[in-house]
Amino acid sequence: MEENLLERSPDGLYSMTEEGKRHGGRVFGEEFADLTRPGHGECGADCWCHSDPDEAEACAAGRVAHLHGSHDDHPHDDDHH
């Protein structure tokens, strides 16, 4: 509360302030950065395959083929993996 990250409501419950939410987001991002990045062979958040389930399936199949040595079957450019 001293750092303005928490506030207490009239009924005695605590909640995060807007600053508390921003701070919590930064801390979470820093602490879990290694776990929230795409792994080897995974798509990034900007991949076209996130637009619909059929595209996601095609992308996943292409990544499997790519990881097993068949580069011709991969529908992506390698620049966003």
How would you write the pLDDT of the chain (81 residues) with one tens digit per residue?
899 999 999 999 999 999 999 999 999 888 887 776 666 556 777 776 777 777 777 777 777 666 555 444 444 444 444
pLDDT given for residue 9 in this prediction: 93
- Residues 66, 75: Cα–Cα separation, whole Å: 9
On the CB side of 14, how many CA atoms lie within 13 Å of its CA? 7
Q: DSSP alpha helices (H): ranges in 6-52?
A: 18-31, 33-36
pLDDT given for residue 17 in this prediction: 95
Strands (E), 1-81: 6-8, 14-16
Look-up: residue for tokens 């991969």?
A: 74
Structure tokens at 75: 């529908």
- Residues 49, 40: Cα–Cα separation, whole Å: 17
